[in-house]
Amino acid sequence: MPTLAQQSGPKFIAARAMLLTALLLVCRASDSQTVTEHPYLEGHEINSDTCLKCHPDKEEGKIVHTALDVLCENCHQVASDKVARKTRITLQAKGGELCGKCHETEQQQVVHAPYAAGECLLCHEPHTSNFPGLLRAEQDTLCGSCHQANHPSVSVDEAAQRVTLLGRQSYSLELFKSAPKLGTFRPRPGVPVSTHPVTGRDPRKADGEFKCSTCHNPHTSRADQLLRMPTKGESASENLCLGCHTGARFLHQKTVAHSDCSTCHSVHAAQSSKTPEGVFHLVQGQPGLCLKCHDVAAEPIQKAHLNQPVASNRCTECHNPHGSERARLIK
């Protein structure tokens, strides 16, 4: 008896088309499914060319996973049952274990929760994508789906304790809630958080684009908040912030050498952009911020600010907080 792939005629063609369409819809419904049933195939029919005849979309897109240049069987295991006249497709492994067969696992102190859980498909398409890195969406949108409150692409199922992101991927509600939220979603492009830009031109590169991964490593890092490097130090080679924010000749020892930029600044702080605190991403307004380190009652400060209401003024009216040609950081 000929196989389904060998049968011909209008009835067989129509039946095969209906069956394959239904199976394709099932496969597309959730990438988390590890087992799917396909029309029966003989051993010699099991190859990438046969797969792509029914799944042409798996190699259509601006960016195609290089694994498709090898064999579908590198990720998928195929078993045909002659008695049941069915072919079952399963993944060679699950989640990060499968991806780790080709992609080297990153080992650093700070690990992104989805990466630690092996949820690679939460962020990446397995076959093709219109976005670099096989991302499921434009980077701001993708990151914002977890890290912004009330994002429109998020659907929460409290009963199942699951959350659906970007209309497709299901994720643990507990892990989703544990992700730091940077503020309420804003539809205006390029401003998903407060005032620090996350899109546009990277000032360090002539043709570079500024995005979340400019500052953050999406998988693992040795620095807090998955930053690409710490925010402390006196040079751009050791301080992430100084890669863009240059020009200070004398660094304020209290904020840079002995601590870090985050002592005074919070990039994603939800301050009003109409205030100095918002413009400069300060964690607190002046002079309260300065007085966290500088004791207003100390004799040197009292002498230097004789008859001046230090506790109620803006210190930066007279002082440059980062560096100056003059002593005491005087402007």
Taking only the tens place, the pLDDT of each residue in 170-191 is 899 999 999 988 765 554 444 3
Q: b or e along 286-300 (b: 16 or more beta carbons within 10 Å of the residue's beta carbon)?
A: bbebbbeeeeeeeee
The pLDDT value recorded for residue 7 is 41
Domain ranges of the chain: 10-92, 98-212
Say how far apart CA 211 and CA 150 lie, in whole Å.
21
H or E stretch covering 38: strand 35-39
Say how far apart CA 76 and CA 181 lie, in whole Å.
36
Say how far apart CA 225 and CA 182 lie, in whole Å.
12
The pLDDT value recorded for residue 9 is 46
The pLDDT value recorded for residue 257 is 43
More confident residue, 309 or 120: 120
Q: Please say if the pLDDT value at position 12 is more than 80.
A: no
* Average pLDDT, integer, range 233-257: 69
* Cβ pair 256, 240 in contact under 8 A: no
Q: Which residues contact 199 (CB under 8 A, 6 or more apart)?
A: 140, 189, 190, 209, 210, 211
Say how far apart CA 133 and CA 111 lie, in whole Å.
19
The pLDDT value recorded for residue 253 is 58
Length of the chain equals 331
The pLDDT value recorded for residue 250 is 52
The pLDDT value recorded for residue 252 is 60
* Average pLDDT, integer, range 111-139: 93
Say how far apart CA 305 and CA 291 lie, in whole Å.
14
Q: For 23-65, write each residue's pLDDT tens digit.
A: 333 343 334 446 788 888 888 888 888 888 888 988 888 999 9
